[in-house]
């Protein structure tokens, strides 16, 4: 019996009481089932009586007694106690608990997947770094978090498209081209230009690919450096993300918005809706009508649209492509962008609470390891991969809440010790894989899971492990709904610990020439179920689940 099954049972009990006239209350849509921290409080607990007491006009403990009476009749439920202010503490029968293993084995790699978000078509944009530099730590964080989020949303039934917005037009690009040109000519990079060794490398490559470029007039040379410099930067960025295991469904070029007239269309649409005015030769959007703290320029006095204007057109384009939710992960250094974007959505006559979501992630720093000089004084994606590897890099980025600024200790994440959380989790997986190999070497046949006597799983540590495994689908759903992949990582760390404690307490394979214990087969299935959950969870984070370490 899973917590979800139990929630249904609890609601059925409430319905039964209502139908029998013992309770006058609307049956709620959901019941909260939680795992009590203390084993004395049963396998599961629900606060349903506390929630129903007020609408029912009864004391919480009275409601609890009534519901408990019905719940006790449910098969699989061994005991129901009313405790404290009115909690129901529920103990399951061993067989009902053990049956979870069968559920997990049957679901296999899709255990944890739900339909919680089915019907939602979500566009998830992240990273979107300008092709004027290498990806640094903050970009890496959004890459890891965004990719995990995409996997979580998909696992919860949403249709997800991941997208990287590629700014290949505008003043930053011009500055980048000017920097390349200056370097190629052996001149000083302009003060507002780009620095770092990578600028020199790119400039040299452009010159190598286009030998006559420096003999061309300045305007033409700048164009060459711009087009091919961006091309190279973008190739490097994509290659790096590839190595990191992050693959976008769509790489969207800002240029296409210009080329296809989408920006013009958007300005016209906003003008028609009366949210636009002219001042000082520029075109302004009256975002203050919709909660922004100042109005925003969308077309500059020289006639060029602002980046913000392109962003508006991009949002409209996503909506036109049929996405009912536009999610954009941004760093805290861009959070000022949120109110104006929301204001725009209102200006278009849509409700930003329904269609737009901008999770803001706090900044990342790193210490330890050796710092790279290649990009100036910042740590790049490649530096991180070199320092700690892909698995540890991704895990380090994804295990903390986006709301927390993090400081990555490179020495810790590079270490192959228990200090390193990713090894702790991966080790549990490898340990199980090793155990299952040994079982195979001993020619042990576990048969079919449906034939195993799973009611034999009645040790306390077995119960703890079963309960932890039962939590997984809810953890995945919550992580998806709250856009909080770190919850999966924390859960896996707990699950790994619960497994290690089980392993320490419960012998599985026979020693020496002992005969196999009757618990052996059910325990082997319990191990396999745990291995599946660890592998599924790590998979959602984009981290490998090794069979050997």
Partner RNA sequence: GCGCCCGUAGCUCAGUGGAUAGAGCAGCUGCCUUCUAAGCAGUCGGUCGCAGGUUCGAGUCCUGCCGGGCGCGCCA
Q: Residue 189 and residue 184: Cα distance in Å, rounded?
A: 10
Q: Which of 334, 292, 341, 343 is nearest to 315 (CA)?
A: 341
Residue 443 interacts with RNA (CB under 7 A): yes or no = no
Q: Which of 380, 341, 338, 329 is nearest to 485 (CA)?
A: 329
Cβ at position 285, least distance to RNA in Å: 11
Name which of 113 and 337 has its Cβ closer to RNA. 337
Q: What are phi and psi of 122, to 5 degrees?
A: -115, 130
Q: Residue 472 and residue 113: Cα distance in Å, rounded?
A: 9
Name which of 85 and 108 has its Cβ closer to RNA. 85
Which residues from 320-359 bind RNA, rule CB under 7 A? 332-337, 339
Which of the ranges 80-88, 226-234, 243-251, 256-264 carries the binding residues for RNA, by CB under 7 A? 80-88
Residue 490 interacts with RNA (CB under 7 A): yes or no = yes
Taking the chain, what is the end-to-end CA distance rounded to the nearest angstrom? Answer: 34
Which residues from 103-122 bind RNA, rule CB under 7 A? none
Cβ at position 63, least distance to RNA in Å: 12
304 SS3 class: coil
Which residues from 27-46 bind RNA, rule CB under 7 A? 36-38, 40-41, 45
Residue 488 interacts with RNA (CB under 7 A): yes or no = no
Cβ at position 207, least distance to RNA in Å: 27
Cβ at position 325, least distance to RNA in Å: 18
Residue 282 interacts with RNA (CB under 7 A): yes or no = yes
C-alpha distances (whole Å) from 531 to each of 104, 309, 471, 537 are 10, 49, 15, 10
Q: Residue 37 and residue 89: Cα distance in Å, rounded?
A: 12
Name which of 232 and 477 has its Cβ closer to RNA. 477
Which residues from 386-415 bind RNA, rule CB under 7 A? 400-401, 403-407
DSSP string, 383-437: HHHHHHHHHHHHHHHHSS-TTS-EEEEHHHHH--STTSHHHHHHHHHHHHHHHHH
370 SS3 class: coil
Name which of 46 and 94 has its Cβ closer to RNA. 46
Alpha-carbon dihedral 61, 62, 68, 69, rounded to 10 degrees: 150
Q: Residue 252 and residue 310: Cα distance in Å, rounded?
A: 12
Name which of 196 and 339 has its Cβ closer to RNA. 339
Q: Which of 153, 388, 484, 526 binds RNA (CB under 7 A)?
A: 484
Q: Residue 534 and residue 549: Cα distance in Å, rounded?
A: 15
Residue 438 interacts with RNA (CB under 7 A): yes or no = yes
Residue 280 interacts with RNA (CB under 7 A): yes or no = yes
Locate tokens 């920097």: which residue? 179
Which residues from 494-533 bind RNA, rule CB under 7 A? 497, 500-501, 503-504, 506-509, 511-512
Provide the mask over 413-432, with x wherever binding to RNA is found by CB under 7 A and - wherever it is not. ---xxxx-x-xx--x--xx-
Cβ at position 208, least distance to RNA in Å: 29
Q: Residue 272 and residue 259: Cα distance in Å, rounded?
A: 22
Which residues from 146-205 bind RNA, rule CB under 7 A? 167, 170-172
How many residues touch RNA (CB under 7 A)?
87
CB 31 within 8 A of CB 45: no
Name which of 145 and 184 has its Cβ closer to RNA. 145
Name which of 113 and 308 has its Cβ closer to RNA. 308
CB 136 within 8 A of CB 356: no
Which residues from 211-270 bind RNA, rule CB under 7 A? none
Q: Which of 160, 356, 435, 535 binds RNA (CB under 7 A)?
A: 435
């Amino acid at each position: 019996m899973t917590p979800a099954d139990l929630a249904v049972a609890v609601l059925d009990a409430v319905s039964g009481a209502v139908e029998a006239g013992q309770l006058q209350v609307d049956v709620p849509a959901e019941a909260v089932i939680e795992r009590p921290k203390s084993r004395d409080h049963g396998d599961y607990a629900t606060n349903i009586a506390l929630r129903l007491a007020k609408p029912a006009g009864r004391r919480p403990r009275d409601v609890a007694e009534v519901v408990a009476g019905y719940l006790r009749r449910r098969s699989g439920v061994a005991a129901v106690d009313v405790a404290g202010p009115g909690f129901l503490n529920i103990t399951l029968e061993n067989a009902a608990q053990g049956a979870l293993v069968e559920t997990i084995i049957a679901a296999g790699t899709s255990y944890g997947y739900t339909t919680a978000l089915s019907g939602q078509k979500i566009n998830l944009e992240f990273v979107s770094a300008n092709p004027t530099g290498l990806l640094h730590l903050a970009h890496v964080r959004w890459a890891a978090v965004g990719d995990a989020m995409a996997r979580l949303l998909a696992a919860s039934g949403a249709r997800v498209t991941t997208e990287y917005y590629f700014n290949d037009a505008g003043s930053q690009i011009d500055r980048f081209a000017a920097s390349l040109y200056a370097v190629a000519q052996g001149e000083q990079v302009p003060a507002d230009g780009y620095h770092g060794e990578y600028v020199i490398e790119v400039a040299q490559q452009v010159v190598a690919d286009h030998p006559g470029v420096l003999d061309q007039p300045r305007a033409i040379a700048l164009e060459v450096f711009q087009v091919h410099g961006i091309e190279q930067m973008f190739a490097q960025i994509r290659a790096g993300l590839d190595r990191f295991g992050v693959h976008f469904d769509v790489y969207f070029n800002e240029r296409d918005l210009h080329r296809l007239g989408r920006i013009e269309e958007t300005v016209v649409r906003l003008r028609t809706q009366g949210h636009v005015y002219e001042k000082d030769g520029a075109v302004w959007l009256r975002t203050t009508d919709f909660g922004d703290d100042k109005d925003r320029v969308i077309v500059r006095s020289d006639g060029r649209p602002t980046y913000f204007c392109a962003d508006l057109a991009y949002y409209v384009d996503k909506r036109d492509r049929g996405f009912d939710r536009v999610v954009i992960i941004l760093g805290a250094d861009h959070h000022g962008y949120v109110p104006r974007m929301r204001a725009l959505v209102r200006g278009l006559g849509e409700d930003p609470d329904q269609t737009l979501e901008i999770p803001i992630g706090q900044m990342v720093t790193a210490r330890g390891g050796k710092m790279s000089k290649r990009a100036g004084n910042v740590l790049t994606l490649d530096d991180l991969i070199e320092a700690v590897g892909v698995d540890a890099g991704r895990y380090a980025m994804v295990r903390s809440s986006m709301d927390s600024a993090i400081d990555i200790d490179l020495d810790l994440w590079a270490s192959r010790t228990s200090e390193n959380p990713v090894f702790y989790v991966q080790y549990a997986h490898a340990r199980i894989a090793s155990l299952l190999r040994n079982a195979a070497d001993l020619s042990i046949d576990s048969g079919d899971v449906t034939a195993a006597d799973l009611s034999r799983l009645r040790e306390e540590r077995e119960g703890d492990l079963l309960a932890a495994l039962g939590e997984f689908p809810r953890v995945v759903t919550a992580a998806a709904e709250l856009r909080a992949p770190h919850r999966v990582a924390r859960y896996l760390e707990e699950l790994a610990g619960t497994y290690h404690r089980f392993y320490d307490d419960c012998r599985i394979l026979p020693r020496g020439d002992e005969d196999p214990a009757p618990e052996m087969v059910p325990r082997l299935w319990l191990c396999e179920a745990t291995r599946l959950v660890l592998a599924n969870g790590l998979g959602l984070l984009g981290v490998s689940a090794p069979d050997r370490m």
